[in-house]
Structure 1
Amino acid sequence: MSDKGLLIAALAQALPASQVRSDAESLQASSHDTWPLSTKLKRLGCHDYQADVVVEVADEQQIQRVLAIATATDTPVTPRALASSVTGQPLPTRGGIVLDLSKMTHGCEINFTNLTVEVSTGYNGGKLEDELHAQGWTLGHSPQSLYQSTVGGWLSTLATGQFSSYYGGIEDLITAYTVILATGEKIRLKASPRAAMGPDLRQLFIGAEGTLGIVTSVQLKIFPLPEARLYDTLELPDVEAGLSIMREQGMAGLRPFLLRLYDTAEARHAMQDPQQNKPVMFIGCQGVHAIAKAEMQTLLDIAAKHGATRKGPQAALAWMERRFDFSTVENLLATTGGFAETIEVAHTWDGIGKLYHALNQMLQPHAAEVLSHFSHVYTQGTSMYMILLGKEETDELAVERLRTIWRETMRVCLEHGAELSHHHGGGLVRSPYARVSLGSAHLLLRRVKAALDPNGILNPGKLGL
């Protein structure tokens, strides 16, 4: 029997045989995620990132058994759940085992006194939000992929949501979690509600993309649904005015839950009006009604100083209704030669404007439409999305175009000293740039990897590891 055959036999002996799959359909299905490049390669019948076996696990004990076999046979293990990643995190680069965590959905423990909920790693985010919402609560975490992603995936990719200006990113929303190391050891990381016993080790696995351990359950904060939500839409003289508004509201200590700035090209999509000829901003304030009202008025006063014109709440409310809709990109990718990409980066206030203009200038020849928006705001700077839509004659040419877009975008971002990812993580597409992006910090990552995963079996090929 081959080494592959021995591996599959050992796994089938350790777990129910129905949970161990090595048929072509299963292997090909797990060789793709929702990364646009991967979607185009799937259309071409290219399944470059195939495992030897897909193992579906149902509990922590089964994960420990799989890791024991993987360690004994020096077999790579790539964790995967709903594969909503758009950068290739769950794709195996060295074959081995794809560890399917999507059935890890048992358990949902809500503590209304401590304002937390604990769920298994494979729990669907949208399902959890709906369950909480029905009882008057919210996670506060609302990525566009809410109904296509899991809580374990949020942690592993350092995700953030559309209302991060109010609630923060996933790193602000996690109170505790459980992880299993490559050695099979089970670790619980927590702070209740804060702890000062050494470094905050909870941060260690957040954003590690499964390279340091397998997350099995997550405890998250929950929040009461807001008493009031107020909306408005602003039309702006230029992008710089919008960036100034964002910066000044941060200086003032405001916390609008909705703060999205669209350049003119994307404003046409956001307003659903092809005649829109100026940038726009969607704003929203929430909380106790008196506070939401006062915050909204303060935000409007800041905006007025920079030449903003109020357009009313309708466009912002319409966006709220369709904010999970990703069909423009999906439909274009489904056509022969069609390509689309969303690349999110981040920079400081003194760099983001220059980066915006440099990327737009560089990308214009590479796509029919180059769209930009700014949607996660901090006191020191903001994130920026670059959205590319276009069409080539063939899918093969679309693949090459996407590769060029990524290569050139990363080059420009590095030249400007920007962060290469704000919340989509590194995955396969950014891994070649990880060492340059992290600089000397990458040495620390490599040291941690060597200590926690000495055989290097967990999700190889990611984060420059």
Structure 2
Amino acid sequence: MSAASASSSQVNAENVHNRNIGIGDSDKNKTSSVKKKQDGNINSGTNTVIKVKSVIPRRRQDLLKWYGWGYKDSMFHLNDETASFTGDKYLLGGKTLPHFIPWAVQNLNIDASKQRKIPAVPSSYQESRLPHHVRQELEAIAPLSIEGMDRLIRAHGQTLSDMARLRTNTFPRIPDAVIWPDCHEHVVKIVDCATRHQFVIIPFGGGTSVSGSVTCPEREERPIVALDTSEMNSILWIDKEQLLARVQTGIVGQDLEREMRARGLTVGHEPDSYEFSTLGGWVATRASGMKKNTYGNIEDLVVQTKTVTPVGVLEKSCRVPRISCGPEWEHVIMGSEGCFGVVTEVTLKVRPLPPVTRYGSLVFPGWEAGVRFEREVAELRLQPASIRLMDNDQFRFGLALKTETTWGGVILDGLKHFYITRIKGFDPASLCVVTLLIEGHAEEVAERERRLNAIAAKYGGVPAGAANGERGYTFTFVIAYIRDLALDYDVVAESFETSVPWDRTLALCAGVKRRVRDECARRGVTHYHISCRLTQTYDAGCCIYFYFGFNTSAFKDPVTVYEEIEEAARDEIIDCGGSISHHHGVGKLRKKWYTDTVSEPGRRLLLAAKQTLDPDNIFALGNMAFNEGNQEETSIKSKL
């Protein structure tokens, strides 16, 4: 048996990708060429700018849910005793899920007969504080809106707290206006206007942040303008010889990848939020993607950035693969979370589209065996593009999303079930699953698969096929929709992640689960789900994702209860040697651990950079070490 079936040995990567995220063939040619803009003194080797037709319109509420995650036509539904998923953008679209309600009743004690609590569209919004003369000046630069729904949609990211406030329209502050620049020069003019008139700018990309980083500071007295980068989505040039591309930062991940694939190339950066997050957001949060083993994290892909700050444009004068003129200012911008300025353009590495894409899956008798397998694969640097390990609780959660009625859920069915449970003797209550995605030339893909199977066998691993691996991989793109359904049925749920050294991985996973269970018991939480998966591997450690949710029917303020339990879990993570985040950033949710993570001199260095680049606190987001409304402590001057 092989980790991927022979019938899947060669897959048209573009078609697989489009099917996974719902891009139809009709979208492939929605581009137009305009006169090329030169990138300084750089000879790009191309003739035209590619102005991308984005799948997401300026009025996001026309396509996306205003109150939650994703497309309006894509959601889970509970009808009598059957669950289903609507829309045609995902593999689950139009399918019934016979196992979902039994799982949700058993684990979360939901009442599927209750009427769903879909929130009503708000009837009123906060009045805009933007002075009329400033509004007129901004309208002369770029399109601007003070419409309530436009502003509300850009008042938040995707934290649980954001979603709760959004559903009740109880944000203390929302932006006073939204502006859509379409080029670097527009951003320069907008930032200059903000400096002269003293209003706050919040850069807004895809709105997928789960750290509170784009949430408006509650105590900010100045007007707040959300600078929506979505119109800055052109590909300025592509150099196929150098394998580089210059791209505006408002481009959405799925649009960027579609355009590259149409030209035989790929960026290969696929975070879980890739359908809706933007290139600028990836840079601002130091993002990581599911295929980082082959293509790298965002810091490995970025060659050059251009950032508009209140004191000028920050950009290296040369486009080179490496420079010893340090510190590396690109890394000051990567992870700055919008607090220094607006990233407008990025030069990225691209790669030829791999000729073969192969999925696979492996089943292990338990979590420890799976972790040890992943550790050896990392030690030998044999990781495929994606290799992820689900624990048994998450495996069972996957069963709930299976469309067929046979046993086995996302991973096992038929003869595989018989072989693994009867002949191999695996206990369904403890087995764990690894999903694989291997990309490259046919020979190297086959050899990588052979070596992975051999290593897996040392730890009792059994191959379980390509189709199961593909379902497991694409499961990532629908899991976020479950949170909206949960909120409608009195369940709060969220994920949080960390990075951890290999020698502490098992202890951290066990310790965090134990801490969550103890905190639930202390608060009287009786029906909950806690699971984890190992999503990315490195020489020195790995990334662990935790998923936690509970029934809230007994609590008046369930969001606060959730946040208290997650905070305790985060304390446990740090005590076990983990980080405050692997790729979600710090934002406002993880500020309490920032200084201990980077040291007091590190905090002061961050504040010094802020003082240099944004002395008037125009980008007053209040993330990381920056406090809201307390300029003395952050040593930032203010003209107020």
Residue 541 of structure 2 is aligned to residue 381 of structure 1 = yes
Cα offsets for 1:152-211 (capped at 9, x unmatched): 111111111111122211111112221111224353476422223333322120111111
CA distance in 1, matches of 2:142, 2:334: 31
Residue of structure 1 aligned with 2:299, choices 148, 168, 171? 171
Residue 200 of structure 2 is aligned to residue 76 of structure 1 = yes
The 3-state SS of whatever aligns with 2:478 is: coil
Checking the alignment, whether the CA contact within 8 Å between 1:433 and 1:464 is kept in structure 2 is no
Are residues 285 and 120 of structure 1, via their aligned partners in 2, closer, same or farther at CA, if it must alter by over 3 Å?
same
Cα offsets for 1:213-250 (capped at 9, x unmatched): 21001121111122323433221122222121111112
Q: Which AA in structure 1 matches 2:172?
A: D
Residue of structure 2 aligned with 1:150, choices 278, 300, 303? 278
Match of 1:57 in 2: 181
Match of 2:499 in 1: 346
Residue 256 of structure 2 is aligned to residue 103 of structure 1 = no
Trace 1:352-431 onto structure 2 (pairs within 5 A). 352-364=505-517, 365=520, 368-393=528-553, 397-431=557-591
Runs of 5+ unmatched residues, structure 2: 1-127, 403-407, 413-427, 627-640
CA distance in 1, matches of 2:594, 2:582: 13
Cα offsets for 1:375-413 (capped at 9, x unmatched): 110010000000113331289533223322332122212
The 3-state SS of whatever aligns with 1:54 is: strand
Match of 1:183 in 2: 311
CA distance in 1, matches of 2:215, 2:156: 6
Residue of structure 1 aligned with 2:256, choices 113, 118, 128? 128
Superposed CA RMSD: 2.4
CA distance in 2, matches of 1:259, 1:186: 37
Q: Which AA in structure 1 matches 2:306?
A: T
Match of 2:382 in 1: 254
CA distance in 1, matches of 2:129, 2:448: 64
Match of 2:396 in 1: 268
The alpha-carbon deviation at position 148 of structure 1 amounts to 0.5
Checking the alignment, whether the CA contact within 8 Å between 1:226 and 1:288 is kept in structure 2 is yes
Match of 1:85 in 2: 209
Match of 1:295 in 2: 448
Residue of structure 2 aligned with 1:464, choices 625, 628, 631? 625
Q: In percent, how many aligned pairs have the same letter?
A: 25
CA distance in 1, matches of 2:612, 2:342: 15
Which is helix-richer, 1 or 2?
Answer: 1
Cα offsets for 1:31-61 (capped at 9, x unmatched): 2222222112211221124233333323223
The alpha-carbon deviation at position 374 of structure 1 amounts to 0.5
Checking the alignment, whether the CA contact within 8 Å between 2:138 and 2:144 is kept in structure 1 is no
Q: Which AA in structure 2 matches 1:61?
A: E
Checking the alignment, whether the CA contact within 8 Å between 2:304 and 2:315 is kept in structure 1 is no
The alpha-carbon deviation at position 99 of structure 1 amounts to 1.8
CA distance in 1, matches of 2:588, 2:301: 26
Q: Which AA in structure 2 matches 1:77?
A: I
Q: Which AA in structure 1 matches 2:300?
A: D
Are residues 188 and 103 of structure 1, via their aligned partners in 2, closer, same or farther at CA, if it must alter by over 3 Å?
farther
Are residues 24 and 303 of structure 1, via their aligned partners in 2, closer, same or farther at CA, if it must alter by over 3 Å?
same
Residue of structure 1 aligned with 2:594, choices 434, 437, 461? 434
Checking the alignment, whether the CA contact within 8 Å between 2:211 and 2:588 is kept in structure 1 is yes
The 3-state SS of whatever aligns with 2:388 is: strand
Residue 201 of structure 2 is aligned to residue 48 of structure 1 = no
The 3-state SS of whatever aligns with 1:455 is: coil
The alpha-carbon deviation at position 437 of structure 1 amounts to 2.4
CA distance in 2, matches of 1:145, 1:190: 32
Residue 308 of structure 2 is aligned to residue 196 of structure 1 = no
The 3-state SS of whatever aligns with 2:547 is: strand
CA distance in 2, matches of 1:52, 1:395: 34
Higher mean C-alpha displacement, 226-235 vs 31-40: 226-235
Checking the alignment, whether the CA contact within 8 Å between 1:52 and 1:97 is kept in structure 2 is yes
Q: Which AA in structure 2 matches 1:390?
A: F
CA distance in 2, matches of 1:283, 1:57: 40
The alpha-carbon deviation at position 295 of structure 1 amounts to 2.0
Checking the alignment, whether the CA contact within 8 Å between 1:285 and 1:293 is kept in structure 2 is no
Higher mean C-alpha displacement, 247-256 vs 193-202: 193-202
Checking the alignment, whether the CA contact within 8 Å between 1:56 and 1:99 is kept in structure 2 is yes
The 3-state SS of whatever aligns with 2:275 is: helix
Checking the alignment, whether the CA contact within 8 Å between 1:123 and 1:150 is kept in structure 2 is yes
Checking the alignment, whether the CA contact within 8 Å between 1:340 and 1:390 is kept in structure 2 is yes
Residue of structure 2 aligned with 1:329, choices 471, 482, 498? 482
Residue of structure 1 aligned with 2:609, choices 445, 448, 456? 448
TM-score of the aligned structures, taking structure 2 as reference length: 0.68
Q: Which has the larger Rg? A: 2
CA distance in 1, matches of 2:186, 2:438: 45
Checking the alignment, whether the CA contact within 8 Å between 1:7 and 1:73 is kept in structure 2 is no
Runs of 5+ unmatched residues, structure 1: none
The 3-state SS of whatever aligns with 1:149 is: coil
Cα offsets for 1:292-349 (capped at 9, x unmatched): 2222222222221112122222210222444422354343344052211010111101
Cα offsets for 1:71-107 (capped at 9, x unmatched): 2344332111221112222222125222222221234
CA distance in 2, matches of 1:284, 1:75: 47
Checking the alignment, whether the CA contact within 8 Å between 2:499 and 2:543 is kept in structure 1 is yes
CA distance in 2, matches of 1:218, 1:251: 32
Residue 467 of structure 2 is aligned to residue 314 of structure 1 = yes
CA distance in 2, matches of 1:193, 1:252: 26
CA distance in 2, matches of 1:280, 1:220: 34
Residue of structure 2 aligned with 1:305, choices 426, 449, 458? 458
Checking the alignment, whether the CA contact within 8 Å between 2:129 and 2:176 is kept in structure 1 is no
CA distance in 1, matches of 2:159, 2:370: 30
Q: Which AA in structure 2 matches 1:66?
A: I
Residue 158 of structure 2 is aligned to residue 34 of structure 1 = yes
Are residues 333 and 78 of structure 1, via their aligned partners in 2, closer, same or farther at CA, if it must alter by over 3 Å?
farther
Cα offsets for 1:232-278 (capped at 9, x unmatched): 32211222221211111121121311210111000123464469431
TM-score of the aligned structures, taking structure 1 as reference length: 0.92
Checking the alignment, whether the CA contact within 8 Å between 1:230 and 1:285 is kept in structure 2 is yes
Q: Which AA in structure 1 matches 2:160?
A: P
CA distance in 1, matches of 2:360, 2:475: 16
Are residues 330 and 117 of structure 1, via their aligned partners in 2, closer, same or farther at CA, if it must alter by over 3 Å?
farther
Aligned length: 462
Residue 363 of structure 2 is aligned to residue 235 of structure 1 = yes
Are residues 376 and 59 of structure 1, via their aligned partners in 2, closer, same or farther at CA, if it must alter by over 3 Å?
same
CA distance in 2, matches of 1:157, 1:230: 30
